[in-house]
Amino acid sequence: MKPYKYLIVLTITGSITMSCNKENKAESFGEYNPLLASYETPYQVPPFEQIENRHYKPAMLEAIKLHDKELKAIAENKEQPDFDNTIVALENSGTLLNNITTVFYNLNSANTNEEMQAIAQEMAPELAKHKDNLYLNEKLFARVKQIWDRQLQLNLSAEQAKLLEKKYKEFIRNGAALNTEQKEKLRKINEELSVLSLKFGDNVLAETNEYALVIKDKEELAGLPEEVIQAAAEEATARDKEGKWIFTLHNSSVMPFLQYADNRKLREEIWNAYQMRGNNGNRYDNRINLVKMVNLRAERAKLLGYESHAAYVLEERMAKTPENVYTLLDKLWEPALAKAKQEEADIKELMRKDGINDEVQPYDWRYYTEKIRQQRFSLDEQELKPYFSLENVREGVFMVTNKLYGLKFKELKDVPKYHEDVTVWEVTENDGRHVGILYMDFFPRASKKGGAWMTSYRKQKMANSERVAPVISIVCNFSKPTAGKPSLLTFDETTTFFHEFGHALHGLLSNVNYESLSGTSVYTDFVELPSQIMENWAAEPEVLKMYAKHYKTDETIPDELIAKLQKAATFDQGFATTEYLAASYLDLNYHSLTEPLTQNVVPFEKAAMDKIGLTNAIIPRYRSTYYNHIFSGGYSAGYYSYIWSGVLDTDAFEAFKSTSLFNPEKASAFRTQILEKGGTGDPTVMYRKFRGADPSIEPLLEKRGLNTVKQDKLAPKNEFKK
């Protein structure tokens, strides 16, 4: 491989070139650092194999210095501010810092270790300070404001106008208009929040990794499928406990246990460990961290002139206000809870037949739901899984994408990657034109956070009139292959694959000028549209016959199984919708507070759930102390986004369903009006251009089986929003 070189051209101050390679080290950088190098790798992906933990901090500090110089050059430019010398210059600044932090934080989620977590904690205040230095720079803001104030005279294109709006609002929403005392207060809040957020996520990961349910007696495995038992045996062997079985709190382990294990006491034990993460009074306890974050966010919002953190966040969302979100949640809550209570009654009846007269507990739900599914629909999930090997599902995703958008996928074997489980793919148009690079990382490990997500190592943009191709990644936590069997997915995991691939397409097919507006750089309650619409194809009979092949015989999934799958499509949707909506209410209740939170989060959460009448048999999808989406991710006051986008995706899929699944005209419109546009337009307008009308909520209600539920008067009371 060629020596890596460090090359930066500062377009603002003139052409300044610095080089650093193994033969000729630049004096200011000392030891060769691959993060400070331009990537002379295939497709210019990060040189993962060469990056060591010791490289990150010096690289970030050097990149911060460089970005400071770039910003100073813009702020002190003697020329009159214009779009190019200020807005575009800002857009193009900080590229090196962005590249370095992108690699670091992506790997801190997907392949972390204690040293990386310590670096993240150490650098969080430095990066928060640097961000504040940017947005609280009075000279920079003055230049941006001058352009904003005379934008009508500048004859900007629609995309240029959107970039100007984005930059101006970023300054305003990050405190540029505050006085000196307020700015100092904001700096302290941002610094503390940056550390707390990282600590919250690290604590959840640590508690997830620390717990192990060790089973010594084979009789206690009764009810569990053979592949689940085999995976637990392999986990035990990996932990030097040969001859035993270990179940963990990773979803691919704990959820099958809750679904199939006959031993109710053991289900209760692992369930309590799962739902008590971050709430055990140990060094990983998140209760105090959470209260601090809620109050600091509320304080920051008031400082910036907003009633609450939710009001601050939602100003830049399709929903616009907390009241609009509550209206949607309330509209769905009543039928969802009514359906969930019907499902609970069915479970209770089956428990009585088993001689259990207790109330339905959360650790009973999945176990008895699976029994009811088998009885009512003759549908055993274990009967389905052989048709959903990871390889076949992947091919199905590729086929759907090819039929819709003409994309092709070729696996690359000689490209740097950060873990042996990762696969790398080149994505091209049908005619061979390069679209981008896709990393896929599917299996759980101690170094990876739970859940599934899409991210990018390089976003699409235009440079010198040429498209800079994106480098996209999807990360999941699917069941690992076992001895003699490939990774076999549940149907839920199958739809998760389709979902994350929809996000990937949003990043890959982006075709805009500016990185800030590229791909998934859209409102959070719009970003789930491309992902969730992809889920719809996964269950269509025509599509299932394309990819659902038995991993041993290559037999296509039988019509009888497809029919069962369709009949059961709305089964347990009361539970699924209710646990999700409960978490959405909880998020909004925390972030709609206008006074400091003074009580413990446990009674706060209970009060929030009591107010909406949540049954004790169900808990929110994420309890407060392990709610990574809102306390360690980017979804604070935004977890509702999935259901908001759900209205959009079900309505959008009707455009295909009512014509043909692979309607080329509709696919082309969705690509050009949604996937390629990124954040260059108003999402409401973009959606109307694709669909020809505003979305209807009816397709969502029908998909979830909520349109025929007999409803009681269960309308929630939302005192939290006042």
Identity of the residue numbered 380: D
Read off the pLDDT of each residue in 523-533 and give the average, rounded to a whole number. Answer: 97
Whether 4 has a pLDDT exceeding 90, the answer reads: no
What confidence score (pLDDT) does residue 710 get?
Answer: 54
Contacts of 45 (CB under 8 A, 6+ apart): 39, 415, 416, 424, 437, 457, 458, 471
- Residue 465 corresponds to which tokens in the numbers above? 């009139």
The two beta strands, 434-441 and 471-475, are parallel
Instruction: Give the C-alpha separation, 588 to 600, whole Å.
Output: 17
- Residue 379 corresponds to which tokens in the numbers above? 């549908």
Whether 28 has a pLDDT exceeding 80, the answer reads: no
Location of each CATH 1.10.1370.40 domain in the chain: 385-567
What confidence score (pLDDT) does residue 721 get?
Answer: 41
What confidence score (pLDDT) does residue 708 get?
Answer: 72
Instruction: Give the C-alpha separation, 510 to 520, whole Å.
Output: 8
Whether residue 607 contacts residue 582, with contact meaning beta carbons closer than 8 Å, is answered with: no
pLDDT tens, 270-298? 999 999 999 999 999 999 999 999 999 99
Whether residue 447 contacts residue 112, with contact meaning beta carbons closer than 8 Å, is answered with: yes
What confidence score (pLDDT) does residue 483 get?
Answer: 84
Read off the pLDDT of each residue in 511-521 and give the average, rounded to a whole number. Answer: 98
Instruction: Give the C-alpha separation, 337 to 711, whole Å.
Output: 9
CA angle (12 as vertex; 10, 14 as ends), nearest 5: 65
What confidence score (pLDDT) does residue 21 get?
Answer: 40
DSSP reduced 3-state for 458:
strand
In DSSP notation, 480-504 reads: PPBTTB--B--HHHHHHHHHHHHHH
CB-based burial label for 86 (10 Å; 0-12, 13-18, 19+): buried
Whether 709 has a pLDDT exceeding 70, the answer reads: no
CB-based burial label for 21 (10 Å; 0-12, 13-18, 19+): middle
Least confident stretch, 57-71, 427-441, 517-531, 701-715: 701-715
- Hey, which bits of 352-499 come out as E strands? 407-412, 423-429, 434-441, 453-458, 461-463, 466-468, 471-475
Please, which pLDDT band fits residue 1 given cuts at 50, 70 and 90?
A: very low
Helix H or strand E encompassing 143: helix 138-149
Read off the pLDDT of each residue in 78-97 and give the average, rounded to a whole number. Answer: 98
pLDDT tens, 462-513? 999 999 999 999 999 998 998 889 999 999 999 999 999 999 999 999 999 9
Instruction: Give the C-alpha separation, 722 to 718, whole Å.
Output: 8
User: CA-CA distances (angstroms) from residue 344 to 269, 274, 372, 432?
Assistant: 21, 21, 11, 53
Please name which of 55, 44, 25 lies closest in space to residue 95, comparing C-alpha atoms. 44
Whether residue 676 contacts residue 519, with contact meaning beta carbons closer than 8 Å, is answered with: no
In DSSP notation, 649-696 reads: HHHHHHHHHTS-TT-HHHHHHHIIIIITTTTSS-HHHHHHHHHSS---
Instruction: Give the C-alpha separation, 86 to 380, whole Å.
Output: 61
Strand partners, 157: none
CATH superfamily of 287-379+571-721: Neurolysin, domain 3 (1.10.1370.10)
Percent of the chain with pLDDT over 90: 92
Location of each CATH 1.10.1370.10 domain in the chain: 287-379+571-721
Phi, psi of 556 (to 5 degrees): -70, 145
What confidence score (pLDDT) does residue 713 get?
Answer: 37
Average of per-residue pLDDT values in the chain: 93
Whether residue 721 contacts residue 322, with contact meaning beta carbons closer than 8 Å, is answered with: yes
pLDDT tens, 530-558? 999 999 999 999 999 999 999 999 999 99
Phi, psi of 131 (to 5 degrees): -60, -45
DSSP 707: S
Whether 9 has a pLDDT exceeding 90, the answer reads: no
| Nearest-10 Cα torsion for 424, 427, 430, 434 | -120
Whether 29 has a pLDDT exceeding 70, the answer reads: no
Instruction: Give the C-alpha separation, 124 to 126, whole Å.
Output: 5
Please, which pLDDT band fits residue 591 given cuts at 50, 70 and 90?
A: very high
Phi, psi of 53 (to 5 degrees): -55, -35
How many C-beta neighbours within 10 Å does residue 473 have? 23
Instruction: Give the C-alpha separation, 146 to 153, whole Å.
Output: 12
Please, which pLDDT band fits residue 707 given cuts at 50, 70 and 90?
A: confident
Please name which of 659, 651, 631 lies closest in space to residue 278, comparing C-alpha atoms. 631
pLDDT tens, 138-193? 999 999 999 999 999 999 999 999 999 999 999 999 999 999 999 999 999 999 99
Instruction: Give the C-alpha separation, 185 to 178, whole Å.
Output: 10
pLDDT tens, 673-690? 999 999 999 999 999 999
Whether 404 has a pLDDT exceeding 90, the answer reads: yes
Task: Please list the helix, strand and coil fractions of the chain in percent, rounded to the nearest 5, in that order.
Answer: 55, 5, 35
What confidence score (pLDDT) does residue 12 get?
Answer: 26
Please name which of 129, 163, 114, 204 lies closest in space to residue 633, comparing C-alpha atoms. 204
Instruction: Give the C-alpha separation, 97 to 63, whole Å.
Output: 5
Q: Which of 191, 334, 343, 500 is catalytic?
A: 500
The two beta strands, 213-215 and 245-247, are antiparallel
Read off the pLDDT of each residue in 88-94 and give the average, rounded to a whole number. Answer: 98
What confidence score (pLDDT) does residue 598 get?
Answer: 95
Phi, psi of 584 (to 5 degrees): -65, -45
- Residue 347 corresponds to which tokens in the numbers above? 């479970």
Helix H or strand E encompassing 214: strand 213-215
In DSSP notation, 500-524 reads: HHHHHHHHHS---S-GGGSTT-S-H
Fold classification of 385-567 (topology level): Neurolysin; domain 3 (1.10.1370)
Location of each CATH 1.20.1050.40 domain in the chain: 34-176
Percent of the chain with pLDDT over 70: 94
What confidence score (pLDDT) does residue 350 get?
Answer: 97
The question of whether 307 is a catalytic residue gets the answer no
Fold classification of 34-176 (topology level): Glutathione S-transferase Yfyf (Class Pi); Chain A, domain 2 (1.20.1050)
The number of residues making up the chain comes to 722
